[in-house]
């Protein structure tokens, strides 16, 4: 993936922050299940995956801070930005809903990230390549875990299937945004830093398709797609999420332990 085309610092920081925000927000969402999961194994599984995602976010924020060179820390990125400054896609901020919604959201995001990390593990940015090489293996576990649940619920009882179908309909408008290209992703692709999101669509379909087939589920094409997250325009759920995420740092500025 390496090329000689340079990428300007601001564009690279934007790319890294988008990625980091996706992972922090989804990691926070999963951590909300801690203590509330339907069984002990899941109560361990979801914080475990949250830990992977937050760990990936930390590495990405730290790298962004270093590239930016303005003395911001990973904590500044996570705790001290306003809602409009978060650049995560809308899918990851969707509320947990029930288990079907949580697992389907997880499957969609993991099926997007797996081919992304695979391509980025050959990134011309050595730090991103290192983060990606580790993350690609972690995300493989996430796909397997979420995929098994999608099959179990889709091919389960009448009630579990009804809920999985409702989740498919509910989340359908939030898929397309993940695959949007723009000036930032184009510059990153030219410089061999990261793949264009649109190029990952077929790999996503190859992951999700067989899982849906095994579950006997059909994908519904949404009447519209929701967008805006990459530009800092978020849904109602995001403010509540940030209030929770940032509460300690906003209440006790500079607190450490």
Partner 1 sequence: MHRPSSTCRDLLPASGEKGERQHRAWAAAAAVPDPEVPCVTVADLGILRSVEIIDGIAVARVTPTYSGCPAVLAIELAVEAALRDAGFEARVERVVSPAWTTDWITPEGRDKLRDYGIAPPEKTSSSIRSLFGEIEVACPRCGSSDTERLSEFGSTACKAHWRCLACREPFDYFKCI
Smallest distance from partner 1 to CB 158, Å: 24
Specify the residue, 52 or 93, whose C-beta has the smaller distance to partner 1.
52
Smallest distance from partner 1 to CB 33, Å: 12
d(CA 155, CA 177) in angstroms, rounded, equals 28
Specify the residue, 138 or 170, whose C-beta has the smaller distance to partner 1.
138
Distances (CA, A) of 84 to 176, 177, 233, 239, 252: 21, 17, 6, 10, 22
What length is written for the chain? 257
Q: Encode burial over 194-217: b for 16+ CB neighbours within 10 A, e otherwise.
A: bbbbeebeebbeebbeebbeebeb
Specify the residue, 102 or 226, whose C-beta has the smaller distance to partner 1.
102
d(CA 210, CA 197) in angstroms, rounded, equals 21
d(CA 256, CA 245) in angstroms, rounded, equals 15
Six token digits for residue 227: 């967008």
Residue 119 CA to its chain's centroid (Å): 16
Smallest distance from partner 1 to CB 216, Å: 15
Smallest distance from partner 1 to CB 116, Å: 15
d(CA 121, CA 114) in angstroms, rounded, equals 11
Specify the residue, 140 or 203, whose C-beta has the smaller distance to partner 1.
140
Smallest distance from partner 1 to CB 56, Å: 5
Smallest distance from partner 1 to CB 12, Å: 17
Find the DSSP H helices in 121-157: 126-154
Specify the residue, 4 or 41, whose C-beta has the smaller distance to partner 1.
41
Secondary structure (DSSP) of 204-252: HHHHHHHHHHHHT--PPPPSS----GGGT---HHHHHHHHHHHHHHHHS
Specify the residue, 78 or 90, whose C-beta has the smaller distance to partner 1.
78
Q: Which residues bind partner 1 (CB under 8 A)?
A: 2, 41-42, 44-45, 48-56, 58-59, 121-122, 124, 126-127, 129-131, 133-135, 137-138, 140-141, 143-145, 147-148, 207, 210-211
């Amino acid at each position: 993936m390496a090329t000689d085309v340079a990428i300007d610092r601001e564009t690279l920081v934007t790319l890294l922050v988008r990625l980091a925000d996706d992972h922090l927000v989804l990691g926070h969402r999963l951590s909300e299940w801690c203590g509330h999961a339907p069984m002990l194994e899941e109560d361990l599984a979801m914080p475990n995956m949250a830990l992977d995602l937050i760990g990936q976010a930390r590495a990405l924020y730290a790298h962004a801070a270093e590239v930016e060179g303005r003395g911001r820390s990973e904590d500044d990125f996570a705790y001290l930005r306003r809602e409009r400054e978060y650049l995560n896609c809308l899918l990851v901020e969707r509320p947990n809903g029930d288990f079907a919604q949580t697992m389907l959201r997880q499957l969609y995001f993991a099926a997007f990230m797996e081919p992304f990390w695979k391509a980025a593990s050959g990134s011309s940015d050595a730090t991103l390549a290192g983060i990606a090489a580790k993350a690609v293996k972690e995300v493989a576990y996430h796909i397997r875990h979420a995929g098994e649940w999608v099959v179990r619920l889709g091919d389960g009882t009448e009630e579990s299937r009804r809920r999985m179908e409702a989740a498919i309909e509910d989340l359908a408008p939030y898929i397309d945004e993940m695959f949007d290209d723009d000036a930032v992703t184009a510059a990153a692709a030219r410089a061999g830093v990261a793949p264009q999101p649109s190029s990952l669509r077929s790999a996503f379909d190859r992951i999700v398709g067989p899982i849906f087939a095994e579950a006997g589920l059909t994908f519904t094409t949404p009447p519209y797609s929701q967008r805006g997250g990459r530009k800092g325009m978020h849904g109602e759920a995001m403010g509540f999420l940030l209030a929770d995420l940032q509460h300690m740092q906003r209440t006790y500025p500079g607190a450490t332990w």
